[in-house]
Structure 1
Amino acid sequence: MEKAFRAMGCTEEEKIRFATYMLQDRAHHWWESVERTMMQDAGFVTWPGFRMAFYSKYFPSSRIKELEREFLSLSQGSTTVEDYEAEFDRLSRFAPSLVQDPKSRMRRFEEGLRPRLRQGLATVHSTDYDDLVDRAKNMEIIWKET
């Protein structure tokens, strides 16, 4: 949603209007209740206030810790490199301190690859994360063919 807001150049007020328009069922009823409370307390609702309330409700710290643990134990297993990369990217958002710079991101990704792929990549120096992923995908393709 934030990506769409940046592309459209939304004001803070428009962000709130569009985001709350997208809420459905229980989330919509939850927001109506929160909005009444916020309006009583401050007289207006800000975009940061909405985001904080939404994340507190739907991404409590217990869930974020759970997703962080999932990221810590993530490995390729029997999936393809492409599927592993998608899951790695999804979960890494919940553990930003573990992938805070390009080298730690690459190292964490490589550690989760199957041992055979890790071994094959050990002789190659990848220049960045995308290069590492691309090399792993290429190795996987070659090994499937042989």
Structure 2
Amino acid sequence: MRDGDRVRCATYMLRDYAYLWWEGAAHGVNLATLTWNQFKDIFYNKYFPADVRGRLTQEFMSLQQGDLSVAEFIRRFDRDCHFVPLIPRDATEKLRHFMDGLRPTIHWDVMLMRLATYDATTACAFQAEQALRDIDVEMQRKRHQTQQSSQP
């Protein structure tokens, strides 16, 4: 896709305050020669100033799943990944960083699969999380049955 098309698609998706901001900002640029990188620079400088980008970079570098669901972890990982440009450009590094941030029980299950792509790894992480939930539900069910059978 050409830069001009990317810019048009992105600006078409702007809503509310972002759309109003772009209407004003567009007057200060030559839309015929505006590159995708120039548009991103203008957008990021408005909505993600240097201090915010720095904070998001630090958050990304220390991002751990912890108590987050896999879906929430992936959402934060993908959002913050854009502010650390070397990682998303290197598929191996992106995958390693994602795996390092997963909760150990999910990390183990995903690691055993030895997947080579980020998309396959995130899909596997979803499956591992669901399997852990299923195990937990089954254990609770058995515990409840044991308690009921031991009562007079």
**TM-score normalized by the length of structure 1:** 0.67
- The answer to whether residue 135 in structure 2 is matched with residue 112 in structure 1 is no
2:90 corresponds to 1:101:
yes
Q: Does 1:121 align with 2:110?
A: yes
Runs ≥4 residues deviating over 4 A: 9-12, 22-35, 48-54
- Cα distance in 1 between the residues matched to 2:85 and 2:106: 25
Aligned CA distance change for structure 1 residues 31 and 56 (closer, same or farther; 3 Å) = farther
Give the deviation of 1:64 after TM superposition: 1.2
Aligned counterpart, 1:137: 126
**Aligned partner letter, 1:145:** D
Give the match's secondary structure for 1:95.
coil
Aligned to 1:70: 59
In the alignment, is residue 91 of structure 1 matched against residue 77 of structure 2?
Answer: no
Contact 1:88–1:109, Cα closer than 8 Å, also in 2: yes
Distance in 2 of aligned mates of 1:11 and 1:76: 32
RMSD: 3.6
What is the alpha-carbon distance in structure 1 between the residues aligned to residue 15 and residue 55 of structure 2? Answer: 25
Distance 1:143 1:29, change over 3 A: closer
CA displacement, residues 44-92 of structure 1 (integer Å, 9 cap, x when unaligned): 6443566644433332222211111111111111111111111111111
Q: Name the counterpart of 1:41.
A: none
Q: CA deviation at 1:99?
A: 2.9
SS at match of 1:122: helix
Work out the percentage of aligned pairs sharing the same amino acid.
26
TM-score norm. by structure 2 comes to: 0.64
- Note closer, same or farther for the CA distance 1:124–1:60 as it changes in structure 2 (3 Å cut): same
2:11 touches 2:19 (CA, 8 Å); kept in 1? no
Q: Aligned letter for 1:129?
A: Y
Q: Which runs of 5+ in 2 are unaligned?
A: 136-152
Aligned partners of 1:70 and 1:77: how far apart in 2?
A: 13
> Is 2:11–2:22's contact at 8 Å kept on the other side of the alignment?
no
Alignment gaps of 5+ in structure 1? 1-5, 39-43
Q: Secondary structure at the match of 2:133?
A: helix
Number of positions where the alignment pairs a residue of Structure 1 with one of Structure 2: 130
